[in-house]
Amino acid sequence: MKTETTLDVFDVDKIRDDFPILKEEINGYPLVYFDNAATSQTPQQVINCISDYYSRYNANIHRGVHTLSQTATDAYEQSRIKIQNHFNAKRSHEILFTAGTTHAINIVASGYGQFLKKGDEVIVSALEHHSNIVPWQMMCEKTGANLKVLPMHQDGMLKLEELDGLLSDKTRMVFVNHVSNALGSINPIKTIIQKAHDVGAKVLIDGAQAAPHIQADVQELDVDFYTVSAHKMCGPTGVGILYGKEHLLEELPPYQGGGEMISDVSFEKTTYAGLPHKFEAGTPNIAGGIGFGAAVDYLHKIGFDNIKEHEDELVSYATERLKEFDKIILYGPEVNRKTAVISFNFEGLHSYDIGTLVDKMGIALRTGHHCAQPIMKFYKIPGTVRASFSFYNTKEEIDIMIKALERAVKMLY
């Protein structure tokens, strides 16, 4: 699916003007924000859209005949259509608004629990975020199903050659992230989906880390479920989506009960609303949903081809600069097999100490296990320093990070 872009020339300095937070100072230093894998920054265009909702047409949706309610409903549902088109879902009601990727995964895990029995098998990968491990462990504990793990290589890529041996006629579901949040590894999800379907298993892909960098086409992938969070895509926090094939969503029971998700309620019996409302109980994050649509518009204005080209340059440049350090350890795959993430450590130093010192110099890096403790246990380390880049970052910022790391390392050795 080709991404249209309205930018004739990618001008990172002009793009940075869209992000007011990039003009902030931290401890007297200009902010260098390299924690984009945790959350991306929000452009003024999205901020304005959210402010406009609260300023001009703040009202509850789907339930009112008055003008404000209808205006808010139209804006919210138009965002759903924008997101449908972005991911190339066949139908708008296959896009469910959620509180984020974690919420979306739990909807599927909770619902599929009723279909599993003792002895059934589900597969996760060794590269997963805790949000794509814990819900399935809970589901297996309740049902007696067995959780199996597709292992990883030392270079941070999955051992795809072992997938055929794990799949069987007992496999009911396969769960894998599109991109590893800790290492940036891009997983071969199309092959995994096809192999899982060959044995009759359903597949959920955690797309949270892929979505800022890769425009997934859910029909081309033939994926059963795909999840993302808006705050990874220049949108607001507290909102995301679950894509699901229509017939699979219809099979799942509601995750929550309450208003909006019902068709008829009596004390004797309740019947549920159709898609997508069956899974959207209560008043949603209306401003968040509308802001998510604005963020999708903004990313399309930048263009995903432009994003990839610029971010590939950044991660290549940063990798070469980091290799200048004598005692550095880099984790994960080569540049051409990952998104704009670099995880690293310095021999004998704790990642927390590095992160704390460079923060004093205005550099925002993430340290620790990144909610991916199995990966850290694989490498026999407590955590890493993670630098994650976005299209609004620059090589000059990378140079500033390198100088800050040089100072931090001298202080600690």
C-alpha closest to that of 189 among 152, 164, 160, 165: 160
Across 209-340, the runs of DSSP E, i.e. the strands, are: 225-229, 240-244, 262-265, 270-272, 328-331
Q: Residue type at 164?
A: D
What values do phi and psi take at 224, rounded to 5? -80, -45
Q: Catalytic residue numbers?
A: 371
Q: For residue 123, what are its two tokens?
A: 């597969």
- Beta-ladder partners of 158: 152
Q: How far is CA 15 from CA 48, 212, 307, 386, in A?
A: 16, 16, 11, 24
Q: Which residue has the tokens 């066949």?
A: 90
C-alpha closest to that of 34 among 382, 406, 367: 367
Cis, peptide link before residue 276, omega less than 30° from 0: yes
CB environment 249-261: b (16+ within 10 A), e (fewer): beebebbeeeebb
* String of DSSP letters for 26-94: ETTEE-EE-BTTT-----HHHHHHHHHHHHH----SSS--SHHHHHHHHHHHHHHHHHHHHHT-SSGGG
3-state secondary structure of 150: strand
* String of DSSP letters for 285-300: -HHHHHHHHHHHHHHH
Rounded CA-CA distance 183/333 in Å is 8
| Burial of residue 232 (number of CB atoms within 10 Å: 0-12, 13-18, 19+) | buried
